Amino acid sequence: MPAQGNASLPVIKRLPKYYRYLCMMQKNGITEVSSKYLADTLGTTASQVRQDFNCFASFGRQGIGYEVDKLVDELGKLLFGSGEPLPSIMVGAGRLGSAVSRFITNETSGYKLLAAFDGNAELVGKDLNGVPIYHTDDLEKFCRENHVAMAVLCLPRTGAIALAPTLVEAGVKGFWNFSHYDLVVDYPQLVVENVHLGDSLMSLSYRLRNEQ
């Protein structure tokens, strides 16, 4: 079932959570689920669930409940596509890059990790969770030859600023961005998912100190 193309970013950000919970229900042998039950499990409202699913026309069976198998299947297709996994690379093969790369090696994630890149000569030639680490000097050639669609940026802001033009010119369209460089300000055409761990930690600190 094709995406309706009218899902807003907040809806898109909620899809993975629905998918995870529905997979758990499927594993537990649950075959049908109401929007109310889903909402209670996820800590949201039934109306929100119905609204979200209405963005994807084929999901709706209001009043009857949803078939878990079908939802898992449809959501899976939306999230991971039904074709080839997206050729992907890590940029930055340090400790964070190493930890983060494990999320992509999983065959079910819709990505295929091809290689990692680092400017540190001591890392070049080594292996990062099963893929080779090359020097960042080879980034452009590699991206062009392998039609890299997604790059994970696990490097400092200055490094990300320096390498972004190369990656964009070589055709990389998607970025899982752990750096503090807000790529999308300079390249609004890119698809960027920011993970600003430091910001998340600061927000938590604010809330712990100011909310009660």
Q: What is the DSSP string of 142-178?
A: HHHHHT--EEEE-S-HHHHHHHHHHHHHTT--EEEE-
Mask: binding to a copy of itself, 142-181, rule CB under 8 A, as x and -?
A: -------xx----------------------xxxx---x-
Mask: binding to a copy of itself, 119-138, rule CB under 8 A, as x and -?
A: --------------------
If you ran DSSP here, which 8-state letter would residue 107 be given? G
Smaller CB distance to a copy of itself: residue 3 or 57? Answer: 3
**Is 80 in contact with 110 (CB distance < 8 Å)?**
yes
Q: Does 98 bind a copy of itself (CB under 8 A)?
A: yes
Smaller CB distance to a copy of itself: residue 138 or 202? Answer: 202
Q: How far apart are CA 129 and CA 121, in angstroms?
A: 18
Counted residue by residue, the chain has a size of: 212
The amino acid present at 35, given as its one-letter code, is S
Q: Which of 53, 59, 66, 111 binds a copy of itself (CB under 8 A)?
A: 111
Q: How far apart are CA 23 and CA 37, in angstroms?
A: 15
Q: Does 57 bind a copy of itself (CB under 8 A)?
A: no
Q: Which of 32, 37, 42, 46 binds a copy of itself (CB under 8 A)?
A: 42
Output the CA–CA distances (angstroms, integers) from residue 82 to 76, 79, 86, 88, 173, in the order listed: 9, 9, 11, 17, 19
Question: 117: which 2 tokens?
Answer: 């890149």
Q: Which of 20, 27, 126, 147 binds a copy of itself (CB under 8 A)?
A: 20
Considering only 28-36, 40-48, 112-120, 163-171, which stretch makes contact with a copy of itself by CB under 8 A? 40-48
Contact residues toward a copy of itself (CB under 8 A) are 3, 5, 7, 12-13, 15-17, 19-20, 41-43, 78-81, 86, 95-96, 98-100, 102-104, 109-111, 149-150, 173-176, 180, 182, 184-185, 191, 193, 195-211
